[in-house]
Amino acid sequence: MRNKFESLELGQFIPLHYHHNMLNDSVRVKGFKEAINMVVKPGDKVLELGGGTGAQSFFAAQKAQKVFCVERNPELVDAARNFLSTNINGEKVEVIQADALHYLPPEPVDVVICEMLHTGLLREKQLYVIDSFKKRYLEKFGGPLPIFVPEASIQAVQPVQQDFYFEGFYAPTILFQDPRSIQERSKDLADPEIFQMLSYTEPFSQTCCWDGKVVIAENGELNALRLITKNILAINFETGSTVDWHTQYIILPLPTPLSVAAGDHISIRFNYQGGDPLSALTDSLEVYFGKETRRWSEEETLNING
C-alpha cells in the first residue's frame, strides 16, 4: 500500500549522480539546448521549474536578460550555484530553493522551462506542476501565458513480443529501452497507438487514459506493452519543424501472454493520473482479446511491479 506522502514525493528527489547521467545524455542535452536557443529571444525573462544542475538555465542565460531557476533539492541548489558560477553568463541565473508547486516569479516571464518528464508522464510531477503554475500565474499577472519548453507531449502504447530471457534466466520485469537503438529483443506486433496529446499552454487533463483497440499486424506472443512518450521541446512556426525528445521507452510485461495473429483486435484500457507510480498504470490495465477479458489480479500486478 502506498501512502499519500510517498505518492506526493515520488519522482521529486533525483540524486546528484543521476543528474550527471542526464548531463551525459548528449541527445537530451543537445535537444534542450537547441529548443531553448530557438524559443528564448534576446532580453527575455525565463523561469526554469526544477533546475537540477542548472544546465538548461545556463542555455537560456546565453540570450535572456534574467533567469529564475527554481529547485527544491538543497544538494542540487548548491551544485547549480557552483556550476553556474564557473560558466559564462551564469551570473544572470538566480537559483532559488523553493517548491515549484508554490513558487511564482516576482515579474512576468516570457519562457518557462520545465523538465519533470518520465515516460508515461508517470512518477515526476510535470502535469501537476505546470497546471498549478498556470493557474497561479494567471491570477497574479493575467495573460498571456509564457511559452513552455517542452511545448507538448504525445503518448502512445504498442503491443510487443519481448524476450525476457537473460542468459537463460527468465525474468518478465519492467525494462527501459533506448528509443534510438534497434531493439533486437522486441518484436513489434502492431504500430504504436496514440492515447494522449497535450499542449502545455492549453488547458489539459491530468488523467492519462485509453480505452481503444489495436489491430495486430504480426503473429506472435503478446507478452508486453511498450509505453512511448515523445516531447515536442520547441516548434519553429516559420519552417514548420520541431525539436523532439523521447524519454526512454518502458516495456511493461503482461502477467498472462496471449497468442495473437495478424488481424486480431486487441483492446487495451488503463487510467492513471500524471505523476502516479508505475503501479497505477498496471493496476488499472485491462486487455480484451476477442471475448476474453483480462483484468490483472493484485498478485499478478505485484509481480509486474517487482
Query: Which residues in this chain contact ligand SAM in the complex, by CB under 6 A?
Result: 12-14, 19, 22, 50-53, 55-56, 70-73, 76, 99-101, 115-116, 125, 129
Question: Is the Cβ of residue 76 or residue 222 nearer to ligand SAM in the bound state?
Answer: 76
Question: Is the Cβ of residue 10 or residue 214 nearer to ligand SAM in the bound state?
Answer: 10
Of 193, 198, 275, residue with least CA distance to 232: 198
Q: Taking the complex as a whole, how short is the minimal distance between the CB of residue 118 and ligand SAM, in angstroms?
A: 8
Task: Decide: 173 and 252 in contact? Cβ < 8 Å.
Answer: no
Question: Is the Cβ of residue 79 or residue 225 nearer to ligand SAM in the bound state?
Answer: 79
Q: Taking the complex as a whole, how short is the minimal distance between the CB of residue 114 and ligand SAM, in angstroms?
A: 8
Task: Decide: 89 and 58 in contact? Cβ < 8 Å.
Answer: yes
Task: Find the residue with minimal CB distance to ligand SAM.
Answer: 50
Q: Taking the complex as a whole, how short is the minimal distance between the CB of residue 100 and ligand SAM, in angstroms?
A: 3
Question: Is the Cβ of residue 72 or residue 255 nearer to ligand SAM in the bound state?
Answer: 72
Q: Taking the complex as a whole, how short is the minimal distance between the CB of residue 295 and ligand SAM, in angstroms?
A: 33
Question: Is the Cβ of residue 6 or residue 99 nearer to ligand SAM in the bound state?
Answer: 99
Question: Residue 106 to residues 45, 109, 140: CA-CA distances in angstroms?
Answer: 11, 9, 10
Neighbours of 36 (CB within 10 A): 27
Question: Residue 71 to residues 47, 51, 128, 138, 140: CA-CA distances in angstroms?
Answer: 11, 5, 16, 22, 21
Question: Is the Cβ of residue 18 or residue 165 nearer to ligand SAM in the bound state?
Answer: 18
Structural element, H or E, at residue 27? helix 26-39
Of 89, 64, 88, 90, residue with least CA distance to 79: 90
User: Is residue 144 helix, strand or coil?
Assistant: coil
Question: Residue 136 to residues 66, 124, 145: CA-CA distances in angstroms?
Answer: 21, 20, 11
Q: Taking the complex as a whole, how short is the minimal distance between the CB of residue 108 and ligand SAM, in angstroms?
A: 20
Question: Is the Cβ of residue 100 or residue 109 nearer to ligand SAM in the bound state?
Answer: 100
Q: Taking the complex as a whole, how short is the minimal distance between the CB of residue 74 and ligand SAM, in angstroms?
A: 10
Task: Decide: 61 and 54 in contact? Cβ < 8 Å.
Answer: no
Q: Taking the complex as a whole, how short is the minimal distance between the CB of residue 240 and ligand SAM, in angstroms?
A: 26
